[in-house]
């Protein structure tokens, strides 16, 4: 095995976190679809797909380094939201939490002199900058538009092709 058992266990935990995010974003997509906001729905479904890809990416790394993948239990996502702002705020909070989780994984890899995992996780740090930034943007737009003006944000998302 190229990485420690402890590192492998932490990465397995992160696979669960990414899959939890995938389910949460899917639930948000469902919420927006039910609210007749199809571009918001498409945006969150796509985010969910990306989180699943993150889980797969980590799975592949664990397997490539000689570890085993054991997907942990994942708690149910939040399925209903009072308004678009609440959902997008929660998505932003989630991305900030994931950024911390990635930083903690890197801190562990540094402590173990594990350059293999540090190098692998570098991609995720770059990805988190993008994810936090785009969610902050979306939240600012939702706040500015207000619930009655969400139609304008739909237009923006449609133009972005997201």
How far is the C-alpha of 156 from the C-alpha of 113, rounded, in Å? 45
How far is the C-alpha of 53 from the C-alpha of 59, rounded, in Å? 10
Going by C-alpha positions, the residue among 52, 34, 45, 83 that lies closest to residue 162 is 45
Please state the closest distance from residue 118 (CB atom) to Fe ion, in A.
18
To which residue do tokens 């930034």 refer? 133
Please state the closest distance from residue 105 (CB atom) to Fe ion, in A.
12
Q: What's the Cα-to-Cα distance from 33 to each of 10, 66, 135, rounded to whole Å?
A: 35, 41, 19
Please state the closest distance from residue 21 (CB atom) to Fe ion, in A.
6
Helices (H), ranges, 112-149? 115-145
Residue 54 within binding range of Fe ion, rule CB under 5 A: yes
Q: Are 162 and 42 in contact (CB under 8 A)?
A: yes
How far is the C-alpha of 106 from the C-alpha of 143, rounded, in Å? 34
To which residue do tokens 């350059």 refer? 115
Among 131, 139, 153, 154, the residue binding Fe ion under the rule CB under 5 A is: 131
Could you tell me which stretch among 49-57, 66-74, 78-86, 152-160 binds Fe ion (CB under 5 A)? 49-57
**Residue, CB closest to Fe ion:** 54
Could you tell me which stretch among 47-55, 66-74, 108-116, 154-162 binds Fe ion (CB under 5 A)? 47-55
Count of residues near Fe ion by CB under 5 A: 4
Please state the closest distance from residue 102 (CB atom) to Fe ion, in A.
8
Could you tell me which stretch among 37-45, 48-56, 77-85, 151-159 binds Fe ion (CB under 5 A)? 48-56
Based on CB atoms, which residue is closest to Fe ion, 51 or 114? 51
Please state the closest distance from residue 140 (CB atom) to Fe ion, in A.
18
Residues of this chain that interact with Fe ion (CB under 5 A) are 18, 51, 54, 131
């Amino acid at each position: 095995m190229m990485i420690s058992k402890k590192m492998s266990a932490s990465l397995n935990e992160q696979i669960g976190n990414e899959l939890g995010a995938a389910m949460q974003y899917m639930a948000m997509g469902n919420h927006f679809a039910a609210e007749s906001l199809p571009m918001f729905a498409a945006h969150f479904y796509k985010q969910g797909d990306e989180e699943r890809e993150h889980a797969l990416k980590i799975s592949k790394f664990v397997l490539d380094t000689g570890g085993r993948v054991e997907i942990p239990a994942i708690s149910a996502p939040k399925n209903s939201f009072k308004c678009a702002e609440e959902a997008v705020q929660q998505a932003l909070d989630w991305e900030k939490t994931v950024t911390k989780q990635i930083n903690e994984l890197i801190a562990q890899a540094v402590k173990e002199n594990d350059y293999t995992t540090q190098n692998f996780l570098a991609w995720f740090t770059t990805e988190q900058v993008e994810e936090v930034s785009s969610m902050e943007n979306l939240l600012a737009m939702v706040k500015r538009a207000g619930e009655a003006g969400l139609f304008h944000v739909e237009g923006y998302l449609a133009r972005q092709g997201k």
